[in-house]
Structures are given as structure tokens and as C-alpha cells.
Amino acid sequence: MMKPRAALAALFLVLIAVPDAVAQANKPASAELPVTRVVLFNSGVGYFQREGHVEGNARIDLQFSIGSINDLLKSLVLQDLNGGQISTVHYDSSNPPERTLKSFAIDLTGDPSLGQLLKQARGEKVEVVVMPDKNVISGAGVTMSGVIVGVQQKIKDEGDKEVVVAEQLNLLTADGVRGIPMSQVQRFKFLKPELDQEFRKALEVLANSRDTERKRVSLNFLGQGRRQVKVGYVTENPMWKPSYRLALEKDKVLLQGWAIVENTTDEDWKDIRLGLVAGRPITFQMDLYEPLYVPRPVVEPEIFASLRPPTYQGNLGQQAVPQVSGLGGIGGISGSVSQQALQQSINSQGFPPSLMAGLTPAPAANLLPIVSQDRVKDVKEVIKRLDMSKDGVKLDGVSSQAVAIDLGNYFQYLIEQPVSLPRQKSAMIPIVNQEVKGERVSIFNVHVHSKHPLHGLRFKNATALHLMQGPVTIFDEGNYAGDSQVGDLKPNETRYLSYAIDLGSEVLAESKHAPESLLAVKIVKGVVHATNKHRMTSTYTIKNRSEQARKIIVEHPYRTGWKLIEPAKPTEQARDVYRFEQTAEPNKPLKLEVVEEQEGVTRILLADANDPTLQLFIKAGQSSAKVKASLEKALETRGQLADTRRMIQKEEQAVKVIEQDQTRMRANMERVPPESDAYKRYLKKFDDQETDIEKRRERITKLQETVESQTQTLAEFLQALSVD
């Protein structure tokens, strides 16, 4: 007996073996486009160009990793150079297989059994080959056709054994409805062509879904005869890395540079044209591959739903974004790159100079632009420019394989010889090998080493090349001397390199701060502006213990706000340091003093300043007579205000004493008879105190009014006070 899963597998093999004559007749001829040019950037991307020939209507299938699809959709450029045109580009969807499978008439999700497949096709006409149990050995089967009524489950009781549930196919045949045990169904096929084609497509989706890492992109070219086509795109790729060797000899300095390149693709590079760009174009990723589904509201019929309250988004005060026509940039390059540089960059990639101008719309059925016939002749001119080469300077048997092309804000090394690099392999390619200029120096920076300077080189890029940042290995008279690192270096630019500790020289760095001094005092709208000067002296004591004189470069920190006083001018100034060049003779200590000053302004609000602070400014010799007079008047006014407040406190204290005495007298008056002399004496004194309290409270009220007036007068005086 054949199990349902085995029957389904057999059915799948039968279906995929059946040729589809109509599809094969309309299928375009397949072609191949090998990689012919690669341009690597320092921003984590690479430009890849494929070239080849197609015949008639052709389809080219390329395989890409899922991570590369977004970059491909963002940057893909196609050309059909000899009268052809670009048709639709197809690529595998990123929809989950289950979602795609559910869209077909026969749902293959959940690994359906043979009975579940037939149950989904109720009402469809099928042809079934039935193998009765008694004919299993002979292999003879009965073929019948009919309409599927359904698949039911029947319970079979096999005595003492467990109850078995079996499926039965109910089929409407010419002789009526027949029940066929599913265990006897050997194979079936749908007689309706549309349903049979849907089933095949679902099986193809199921087979392709197993490759979860790679997706197929199909490029379609339409035309007649043999034609040249090009495909260009930008995808993620490891940045190329430079590595340099610097040989120091008695009378010259030799520079050798290598480019480290990785082919991380799944395709061998065979005789490609390789370009290495020293520049960092802006690049980004955008998710164009994942389908975006917009959630839609569910609207009920009016009879079943009441009106819902609407909600409105608030206005954020932003103006409407205008529609922009034309292109603002290519491939994420920022707007600071000139149009000429962009054009040169496009030329260096192997595309015609007027590619963008030559793009014309294809017919309505096409989705991508095609290239005008008038632009085809530009390809030969591009090849000529790509062949720009000259004899490189050969040093020690190694010659540079690269020529340099200036791309405006970028710089490209174009490898003259074709490059072959197997997949998942790396290579080192010589890009520069010639004499440069250099001078031996020792460089001291207290934050690098507090005692010794470093052996170094004042290095000038005497080549015509842009040297990209990278490590430098130094060889001195044929011996390894140390490692260094160089930043981006343009032609004729000078940079310092350090590669070892100079144990033959020693530097002692000391710093001291002079006491802060007052330079000037002025008052602006009630605020005292006191200008102070800070002075710092840094002393570098240099001792050269070697037998030859040495040039010592002392790097002193550059600090914003500090002015260099001595020396009047540094030898040179970098972004964060001054550099002072000194010649240290053997065993003769040398001192370098660097004096800096900083002027600062201290601001003090007169209303908040205490009297000792104002007295300090009055006594300062840097304060003018007007400033002193104004501060003295402010002190006088504040003194009058303080006197008035003290008088108020005195009166309030007197009232408090009287009220305490009245409390005592009330207690005594409760103990003595009202007709007694003591009671009468207490009563008279109480009356006199009440009169005194009333007078004092009147004086307090007047004094408080005086305080308010004096406070307002002082505030107005200080706020309006401005004296130089």
C-alpha cells in the first residue's frame, strides 16, 4: 500500500517532469554577463560592471544575497547598446513562502496529504489511477476520470486493534458517485489546464523557498540580432586598504604602496579592470526589497455601524515640500562634488560620458530607460581614457600596476593590468613605487611620552598620487626600524611620521602659572566687568646625548582662548598643537620657553555684590576715577538703606519688649483686686505703653516706606549705571 506522503512525492516528480511546450517557446534565450570592471570605495561599497553580448530577446539571471538586493534596487543601471531596449527586471519576492502559497488555488502550506490536496479541489475534474489492493503486486491500475465530490474520513474497526481512520475519495464518474479508498489512489492529475498550471507554480515557489540566502534577479533585453549590453550596480563590499613601506637611505627616501583587495563575492574575477577610489562618497541603505502593506480600515455597512468620530492631525507649522525636478546627485554623492567631477567619475566606471543625457523612455511595457544610438560611439572614447598609462618607476623589482586619475574631490588608482581573483580570496596589488622627500627629525609630545622624543620623518608626498591613510613600515638602511601610520595625504603635502623611541635624547617639560592680574574694570548696566589676565610658562629642557646634532620638533598643545606670546610665532601650527623646531647639539642642554596668556572677564552683579568686593574694586589701581566714584555712591546708598532697616529692627524690638511687659502685667492684674492701688498703677502703665506702641508702629510704617523708596532708588541707579 502506498502511503499518502509517498504518493504526493511521486505526484510531484511526475508533474515537474512534464514539459511545458508553450512556456519554453516564449522563454527568452539565456545569456551570461561576466564581471568586467570593479571599482572599490572606502565607504563600504563597490561598483560592479558586467559586459557581454546577447542575441535577440535574451534573459540574464543573476544571483544575489538578500543583503545586496536593496543596494541593487537602488543603483541598478542597464544598457542595450545596439538598438535593443530594456524590459522588465524580475526578482524573487521576499514575501514569506506561506503567504505566497496561500495565494494559489491549491494551498501547499502545512505539508498537505494527498487527500487534503484533493479536498481543496472539490468540484474540479481529475483523472485518477486507482490500484486495487489485490493488484498491488502485479502493478495493474485502473484509470478513471470524474469530478471531486469530497474526501471523507471512515472509521474502520479491526477487532481488538485500535480504531483506524481512513480517507475515502468520493468521485462523480459517468457511472455515478464512487467511493475510492485513498490508499488505492496511485496518482492523479487536474484536467483543467488553469488549475494544473497554478499547482505547478505553487510547487515551484515551494522549491525556490529553500534557498533563503540568495535571490534570483532576471534582466530582460528585447531586440534583434547580436548586441552589446552592460549592467552596472553598487553593492556592499569590504573597503580596500592601503599599506606602505618607506625605505630610508643616505641620499633618498623610497615609497612603496600596496592595495589590499578582497573578493567576497561568490563569483571569480577573471581579467577584470580594477579601480580603487581614494574618497568617501556618502552611501546608505534603504529597504526597497521588503513589500510594504498599508493597513486599510474595515468599513461596515451603514445599517450595522454608527458614525465614528473623526480624528485630525495637528499642523506642525511646516511648509509644504516642493516637488523637485531633475537629479540632485548620483549614488549618494553629496552636493559638494562638482558636476565635472561627477561626470569624470561616471566616465571612469566605463559608461559613456553622456549616459544620463542619452537615456530615453522605453515603450509603455518597459520599466527601465534605454540608451540612445547616438551615444554608442562614446564607448570607444571611454576605453581610450581607461587605457591612460605610463611607465612606473621600478624599485627593487616591483613596479606599480596603477595609474592615477583625478576625479575632482576623489582620486582613483586604475590598475593597468587585468586582475584575476578567485571567489572568497584576497590579493595585494602594488599601486605606488617611487622616490619621495623626507628629513629625519625627533618629535616630542609630552602626552605621547613624558621623557623621550620619537624618531620620526618630515615626509613630503612628492608623488602625483593621493595617498590614502594607512600603516607604514619603516626600513632604515635596509633594516626594520618601526611602524607608523599616515593620514590622507594629497600631492606636495607634508606630514610627520614617528616610528621608534629616541633613547639618545631626553626632554624635561615643566609648567607654571603666574598669579592672576587685574587689567581693567568697567560697569555696564549694573554689572561689573573685571578683565583678568592668566599667564602660563612652559619650559622644555632638551638634552641630546648622541654624537650628532639633532632636529627636535617640540609639540605644544594649542588651547582655544590662549594667545602665544613667546616665541612670537611657531615653526608651524596644526589643528591641536604648535610645533617648534630646535637644533640640539651633542651634550649641550637647550631650553625652550613657551609663554601663553589668556584674558578672561569676570562679571559681578552690583546688586548681589557684598561690600568687601566693592571695596576691592574701589582700591584697585586699574579702576578709573568714574568707576570708583560710582561704586562709592553705590556703597553710600546701600549704607543708607541698611541704616533704615536697622532702625526698623530697633523699633520692632522695642515693641516686642513692651508686649512682653504687658503680658506680665495682665497676669498680675488678675491676682489683685480692681480697687487696689497696685491695680490702678498697672492700669495706668498699661495705658501709657499702648500709646508708646502706637507711636512706634507709626514710625515703623514710615521707615518701611522709606526702605521701599531707597530700594527702588538703588535698583534704578545700579541698573542704569554704565561707566568705563
* pLDDT for position 210: 61
- The percent helix, strand, coil of the chain (3-state, each to 5) is 25, 40, 35
- What number of other Cβ atoms are within 10 A of residue 119's Cβ? 16
Q: pLDDT tens digits for 525-545?
A: 888 888 888 999 999 999 999
According to DSSP, the residues that pair with 164 across neighbouring strands are 156
What's the whole-number average pLDDT of the chain? 76
All cell numbers assigned to 208: 525556490
Q: pLDDT tens digits for 75-120?
A: 899 988 888 888 888 877 666 666 666 777 777 777 788 888 888 8
Q: Is the pTM of this model over 0.85?
A: no
pLDDT above 70 coverage of the chain, percent: 73
Tally of helices (H runs) and strands (E runs) in the chain: 11, 33
Q: Which residue has the higher pLDDT, 76 or 4?
A: 76
Is 384's pLDDT higher than 50?
Answer: no
The pLDDT confidence band at residue 372, using thresholds 50, 70 and 90, is: very low
Q: Report which DSSP code applies to 204.
A: H
Q: Which long-range contacts (CB under 8 A, 24 or more apart) does 555-561 make?
A: 555/443, 555/444, 555/445, 555/579, 556/580, 556/594, 557/447, 559/596, 561/598
679 membership: H or E segment, kind and range: helix 677-720
Helices (H), 286-377: 339-348
Is 551's pLDDT higher than 90?
Answer: yes
All cell numbers assigned to 183: 490508499
Residue from 207, 173, 188 nearest 114 by CA: 188
* pLDDT for position 405: 55
pLDDT above 90 coverage of the chain, percent: 21
**Lowest model confidence (mean pLDDT) among 205-214, 392-401, 440-449, 630-639:** 392-401
Q: Where in the chain are the domains?
A: 4-30+85-222, 505-605, 619-720
